[in-house]
Amino acid sequence: MRVVLQRVNSSRVEVDGKVVGSIGKGLNILLGVKKGDTQEDVSRLAKKVVNLRIFENEEGRFYFSLLDVGGEALVVSQFTLYANTKKGKRPSFEEAEEPKRAKELYEAFIEELKALGVPKVESGIFGAMMEVYIQNWGPVTLVLDSENL
């Protein structure tokens, strides 16, 4: 599994002009699922996300985690995180998990964030064409891969 984390002041996702998920201060999480990912990947990545210290203290140093600050999370499915651009001009997505299994792990990740104590977890709609609005705070953007945790 791969995530692009963005620390945000606010973020929302719209489908057909309607807001389907919205948060204040916290993390916008773009989540990609790779073929072969498991529930273990979900658990390991979710724990890393909620405990990663990327919120600043009074001295401006990364000191607090999402849980420490009571931050919120907006999770958006993003199969394109597994794009392969080595050949040609058009990306292929052979490494991305098939939709049924990817949706199961996407939903499991959302539930894991809730179980770990994130006070508000919102999401987009899996497989939908979405517009994601991100007010990046910092900016702070990190890429995490469950294979490297």
Say whether 85 is catalytic: no
* Catalytic member of 6, 78, 109, 126: 78
24/43 Cα distance (integer angstroms): 24
Say whether 6 is catalytic: no
4/64 Cα distance (integer angstroms): 19
Say whether 141 is catalytic: no
Torsion of CA 135, 6, 46, 101, to 10 degrees: 80
28/119 Cα distance (integer angstroms): 14
* Catalytic member of 80, 93, 109, 141: 80
Choose among 70, 71, 92: nearest CA to 29.
71
CA 136 to chain centre: 14
- For 111, other C-beta atoms within 10 Å of its C-beta total 13
* Catalytic member of 6, 55, 79, 109: 79
The residues annotated with a catalytic role in the active site are 78-80
